[in-house]
Amino acid sequence: MTERLRLKKNADRRLKAGHLWLYSNEVDIVETPLKNFEPGAQAIIEASNGRAMGVAYVNPNSLICARIVSRDPEQRLDRSLLVHRFNQALALRESLYDKPYYRLVHGEGDLLPGLVVDRFGDVLVCQLNTFGMERLAEVIVDALLKVVKPTAIVFKNDSSGRRQEQLDRSVEVVYGELPDQVMLEENGVKFTAPVLDGQKTGWFYDHRDNRAWLNRQVKGKRVLDLFSYVGGWGVQAAANGASEVLCVDSSAAALQRVSDNAVLNGVEDRVSTAEGDVFEAMAALRAESEQFDVIIVDPPAFIRKRKDITNGERAYARLNREAMRLLGRDGLLMSGSCSMHLAPDRLMDVVRGAVRHQDRHGQVIFQGHQGSDHPVHPSIPETSYLKALGLRVYRD
């Protein structure tokens, strides 16, 4: 490998600390012009004194202009390294879970920046979110076939991150044939996942442990699942003894999946759905004096970029406040956020403010995080994004 990308003086501090990203303003573009690199090309990263620090793939058109794939300057990201990293990732998941339903590759957390792979038994759903991974698409398929031996592989390349990398968006089955229904099991409950036309890869494995905790609190309870998607929270609540579950989402297709998943688990008599804007639905429920024992608020990311923090925090505050108004005198609120830019202490502030706004008392009885199949890279705070608070809300 002859291509080299040299950093400015002192711009190697984060890399020394273990981070995998390089920003375009850290590159010595006089010594090594970024414009000379093809998007996705691999290069040796050098400190300002010329010392090799590792190998990265480069995208000169992105703010994150390079992502480290190996600390060994002699190592390329190729089939051999992919097979090795996939084996490492698989070994971890097989040590954690007794069934093949999990996130198999979690980007930087598995030292494969820009790549996500979710496993649904014999079906793998991949997101190639960067130019570096896009250029290796065929090699990725080949390495997955060697390590996992799936019957089908889907490229779900429709993420917003691809737009930032100036990549086209597409969804296609790149190997094998999809079964009529792609199945998964989580916490003993069965689901079908819309891997072609659903959100992200079709499922959100990251809340698995948080759902498992909530499942132990819902027996005999009336449950409201807001932003329900295909029923990950709500159907599991019904399967674990909730007396009644109402799932609210703006997507008719997602709610049809809720109904199908309820039937799949024999709880259709206790699961109902309501289509529409969540805030409007909450207002309608209040107008009808409806109250619930347990409410789940698990919205999409309200804060996608730093500039969205102020407005996003307001949205989280309003959502939690309005949800709390639908709780009975002694209820449980499960409040989640997948916004990386919402710090855990800020989510705590949000629920604290909502409790005081309702002139109630709150007790945080659960603090949750993303599951172990979404490993956090200790040097990359961005890989730790999911938060969940279980809050008892009651009156004197």
pLDDT tens-place string over residues 6-42: 999 999 999 999 999 999 999 999 999 999 999 999 9
Same domain, 113 and 209: no
pLDDT tens-place string over residues 330-343: 999 999 999 888 88
Same domain, 370 and 344: yes
pLDDT surpassing 70 at residue 290: yes
Please report which confidence band the pLDDT of residue 141 belongs to, taking 50, 70 and 90 as the band edges. Answer: very high
Same domain, 49 and 91: no
Residue 197 forms part of a structural domain = no
Same domain, 113 and 62: no
Mean pLDDT of 341-366: 91
pLDDT surpassing 70 at residue 154: yes
pLDDT surpassing 80 at residue 376: yes
Q: Using alpha carbons only, how large is the chain's radius of gyration in Å?
A: 23
| Percentage above 70 pLDDT, the chain | 99
Same domain, 339 and 241: yes
Q: What's the CATH number where 61 sits?
A: 2.30.130.10
Residue 66 forms part of a structural domain = yes
Same domain, 32 and 116: no
Q: Which two tokens stand for residue 308?
A: 């969205």
Same domain, 238 and 358: yes
Same domain, 48 and 131: no
Same domain, 54 and 101: no
Please report which confidence band the pLDDT of residue 58 belongs to, taking 50, 70 and 90 as the band edges. Answer: very high
Number of structural domains (the chain) is 3
Residue 153 forms part of a structural domain = yes
Mean pLDDT of 350-366: 93
Same domain, 273 and 311: yes
Q: Pick from 70, 89, 119: which residue ends a domain?
A: 70
Please report which confidence band the pLDDT of residue 44 belongs to, taking 50, 70 and 90 as the band edges. Answer: very high
Catalytic (active-site) positions: 338
pLDDT of amino acid 161: 83
pLDDT tens-place string over residues 267-281: 999 999 999 999 999
Residue 258 forms part of a structural domain = yes
Mean pLDDT of 106-126: 98
Q: Pick from 133, 148, 182: which residue ends a domain?
A: 182
Task: Name the residue range of residue 359's domain.
Answer: 204-394
Residue 225 forms part of a structural domain = yes
pLDDT surpassing 70 at residue 326: yes
Q: Pick from 70, 92, 116: which residue ends a domain?
A: 70
Mean pLDDT of 203-231: 98
Write out the chain in H/E/C secondary structure.
CCCEEEECCCCCHHHHCCCCEEEHHHECCCCCCHHHCCCCCEEEEECCCCCEEEEEEECCCCCEEEEEEECCCCCCCCHHHHHHHHHHHHHHHHHHCCCCEEEEEEHHHHCCCCEEEEEECCEEEEEECCHHHHCCHHHHHHHHHHHCCCCEEEEEECCHHHHHCCCCCEEEEEEECCCCCCEEEECCEEEECCCCCCCCCCCCHHHHHHHHHHHCCCCCCEEEEECCCCCCCHHHHHHCCCCEEEEEECCHHHHHHHHHHHHHCCCHHHEEEEECCHHHHHHHHHHCCCCEEEEEECCCCCCCCHHHHHHHHHHHHHHHHHHHCCEEEEEEEEEEECCCCCCHHHHHHHHHHHHHHCCCEEEEEEEECCCCCCCCCCCCHHHCCCEEEEEEEECC
pLDDT of amino acid 28: 95
Q: Return the closest-CA partner of residue 154 out of 100, 106, 202.
A: 202
Residue 195 forms part of a structural domain = no
pLDDT surpassing 80 at residue 284: yes
Output the pTM of the full model: 0.95
Residue 194 forms part of a structural domain = no
Same domain, 128 and 238: no
Same domain, 215 and 335: yes
Residue 309 forms part of a structural domain = yes
Q: What's the CATH number where 85 sits?
A: 3.30.750.80
pLDDT tens-place string over residues 60-91: 999 899 999 999 999 999 999 999 999 999 99
- DSSP-assigned beta bridge partners for residue 364: 391
pLDDT of amino acid 12: 92
Q: What's the CATH number where 261 sits?
A: 3.40.50.150
Mean pLDDT of 141-162: 95
pLDDT of amino acid 1: 58
Please report which confidence band the pLDDT of residue 180 belongs to, taking 50, 70 and 90 as the band edges. Answer: very high
